[in-house]
Structure 1
Amino acid sequence: MLSRTADSLYWMGRYTERAGNIARGMQVALRMAGLGESLGADPDGPEDEWHSLLVAAGAEPGFREHHQAVTGEAVIRWLALDPRNGASIANCIEAARGNGRAVRTALTVDMWEALNDTWREMRLLAPTATEPDRLPGFLDWVRARAHLFNGAAADTMLRDEGWLFVHLGVMLERADNTARLLDSKHRALSGPDSEGAVAYAQWQALLRSVSALRSFQWLYHTRLRPDLVAELLVMRQELPRSLISCHARVQRVLEGIATATGGRRGDPQRIAGEIQDRLTRGHMPDILAEGLHDWLTAQIDRNIELGHAIHALYLDR
């Protein structure tokens, strides 16, 4: 497979997953913003939901370049539609469709229709998408479209190199999102801010953002606890969006790509193996004792390093 084809498939998967993840985060921020006042949260504090959302989306630096204050209206516009934000939902959908169009013959009919229909509908929805009465429906629509694309790929794509690069992009993006979400809430999971009604609501919000609240109840059969929330999202293989689950699939896909490319292995396989070994050998009590924020920051940096290594070996030629 040509590297430019692999690159388009990889980024098509990443951008589609990113759009859905941003919509998930915005849904939770809307819910928490509505609860904040009744729970006694400081709307101007550093852990304000809108600020946390910017951090989780990796969008704070760009936002600060164009806005002086963090407000719900500004963050919603920036993350949903702002053309200056390359990672806005609208731009992610545009980029996913552009990459898909570049490799149209490598996609199934169902995959292309999912991408192209989403792009066309997005253009129609954009003028009113962030209006207060339309925003919840718009975010539901974005999540549904991401599910539709992933389902179309899983159900109709040949399990060849093309599938491997699409799946690699989705899994790496998902792992990065889970790590960033956890990091944005680390004060509610460890330290002096991890007790009380506000923290409890934030644990719930964090689980809802990865569709894991019911999974927590099924696995643990107890009330929410910060150590168990962190353990679920980091170390439980059963949860599809946990770090260990996502990186296990990244590692398997990279081995598949190496086999499909005549044994081309290198830094991606090494880094993926080191990440998975770190996750497998980790113990949540030790991580919380040493500092969840520092541990997650190192994890995010390794995700970025892995992405660069994948590009260098497979996508930049």
Structure 2
Amino acid sequence: MLSRTAADLYWMSRYLERAENLARMLEVSYSLSLMPQAGRSDGLDELAMSLLSSGTLDNYLERHKQLDAERMLHFFALDEENPASIYNCLRAARGNAHAVRGRITADMWENLNATWLEMRSIAAGGLARHGISHFCDWVKQRSHLFRGATSGTIMRNDAYRFIRLGTFVERADNTLRLLDARYEMFGEESEEVSDLSARGYYQWSALLRALSSFEAYTELYPNALNARSVSELLLLRSDVPRSLHACIEELSHILADLPGSYGRTAQRLAAEFEARLRYTGIDEILEDGLHSRLTEFIDTVRELAQAIHSSYLEVV
């Protein structure tokens, strides 16, 4: 497969996964911002945390100078000038899909093209017309439909593998950033939810819901909600689809299935990272400090993504 084709497939899935992840983060932050706040009533801290975790806070402040809830929601969702907005992620995903129209199925193309056309209609009407919760649900549903069309219609060849590579690289990075942002909000001042405020409980449960892991948590951890168990679930449980371990395990298997020897650097990094997560306990991670470990993991995911790019996606 040509490197340019592989890159378009890879980034198509990354942008679509990024749009879904942004919708999940935005929905949770908006819901939490509606809760009574200590000393303030606007809930801007929650939305600002989303800006910080997505790495776009400086970009927002450069343009708008001060935090404003309505502007922040538009910035995340529909702002054409924000490269990281959901609008631009879906536009980029559709553009990549168009470039490789002959390598994806008709069901995949029609789903993604229809998503973009509907996105343009939503942008013309504005968030006030559709409602932020309804908009976020729509983004998630369109992403689910595309993954279903992909799983059910495309051959299990290299095109399929590069699509899945993009999905799991983006998902791993998002899980780490969301966990880091929420943990930093509370620090290590408390472990048990009984010692936290009601707002603290909803912060942790909202994080789990944002990553579709709340039901898994209640099944695996019958005790009270706490930072240790949440971190273990989202980092080390390979049976939780959006956990770091599950994502890296998938990446390791996909890379091992790609032909040729030029991807050995990426294959080795993924295999080493997966083995490290498999044989690391949560107490080791917490002993070193969760924030420092999460920063290290984020850097490792970035290094892996760069290795994938240099091994397979650079045009030579």
Q: Give me the TM-score of the superposition, normalised by structure 1.
A: 0.93
Query: What is the Cα deviation at residue 181 of structure 1?
Result: 0.4
Return 185-194 or 307-316, whichever deviates more. 185-194
Partner deviation per Cα, 1:135-166 (whole Å, 9 max, x = no partner):
21111111100111111111111000000000
Aligned-partner Cα distance in 2 for 1:270–1:36: 48
Which residue matches 2:206? 205
Which residue matches 1:101? 98
Stretches of structure 2 lacking an aligned partner (at least 5 in a row): none
Question: Does the CA contact (< 8 Å) of 1:227 and 1:284 recur in 2?
Answer: yes
Query: What is the Cα deviation at residue 288 of structure 1?
Result: 1.8
Which residue matches 1:22? 22
Question: Does the CA contact (< 8 Å) of 1:15 and 1:95 recur in 2?
Answer: yes
Question: Does the CA contact (< 8 Å) of 1:114 and 1:149 recur in 2?
Answer: yes
Structure 1 residues 41, 25: CA separation in 2 closer, same or farther (over 3 Å shift)?
A: farther
Aligned-partner Cα distance in 1 for 2:235–2:255: 21
Which residue matches 1:163? 160
Query: What is the Cα deviation at residue 215 of structure 1?
Result: 1.2
Residue 66 of structure 2 is aligned to residue 69 of structure 1: yes
- SS of the residue corresponding to residue 231 of structure 1 reads helix
Question: Does the CA contact (< 8 Å) of 2:263 and 2:312 recur in 1?
Answer: no
Query: What is the Cα deviation at residue 132 of structure 1?
Result: 7.0
Corresponding residue pairs, total: 311
Which residue matches 1:242? 243
Which residue matches 1:288? 286
Return 219-228 or 11-20, whichever deviates more. 219-228
Question: Does the CA contact (< 8 Å) of 1:235 and 1:243 recur in 2?
Answer: yes
Structure 1 residues 120, 244: CA separation in 2 closer, same or farther (over 3 Å shift)?
A: same
What's the Cα RMSD here?
A: 1.9
Identical-pair percentage: 41
- SS of the residue corresponding to residue 242 of structure 2 reads coil
Q: Give me the TM-score of the superposition, normalised by structure 2.
A: 0.93
Question: Does the CA contact (< 8 Å) of 1:111 and 1:149 recur in 2?
Answer: yes
Aligned-partner Cα distance in 2 for 1:69–1:182: 25
Structure 1 residues 235, 190: CA separation in 2 closer, same or farther (over 3 Å shift)?
A: farther
Question: Does the CA contact (< 8 Å) of 1:189 and 1:203 recur in 2?
Answer: no
Stretches of structure 1 lacking an aligned partner (at least 5 in a row): none
- SS of the residue corresponding to residue 239 of structure 1 reads coil
Which residue matches 1:224? 225
Which residue matches 2:113? 116
- SS of the residue corresponding to residue 131 of structure 1 reads helix
- SS of the residue corresponding to residue 120 of structure 2 reads helix
Return 61-70 or 173-182, whichever deviates more. 61-70
Which residue matches 1:89? 86
The equivalent position to 2:171 in structure 1, one of 166, 174, 191, is: 174
Question: Does the CA contact (< 8 Å) of 1:8 and 1:100 recur in 2?
Answer: yes
Query: What is the Cα deviation at residue 124 of structure 1?
Result: 0.7
Partner deviation per Cα, 1:280-304 (whole Å, 9 max, x = no partner):
2222122123211111111111111
Aligned-partner Cα distance in 2 for 1:112–1:243: 29
Which residue matches 1:6? 6
Which residue matches 2:275? 277
Aligned-partner Cα distance in 1 for 2:142–2:263: 34
Letter of the structure 1 residue corresponding to residue 264 of structure 2:
G
Residue 123 of structure 2 is aligned to residue 126 of structure 1: yes
- SS of the residue corresponding to residue 58 of structure 2 reads helix
Question: Does the CA contact (< 8 Å) of 1:129 and 1:135 recur in 2?
Answer: no
The equivalent position to 1:153 in structure 2, one of 150, 156, 180, is: 150
Query: What is the Cα deviation at residue 127 of structure 1?
Result: 2.4
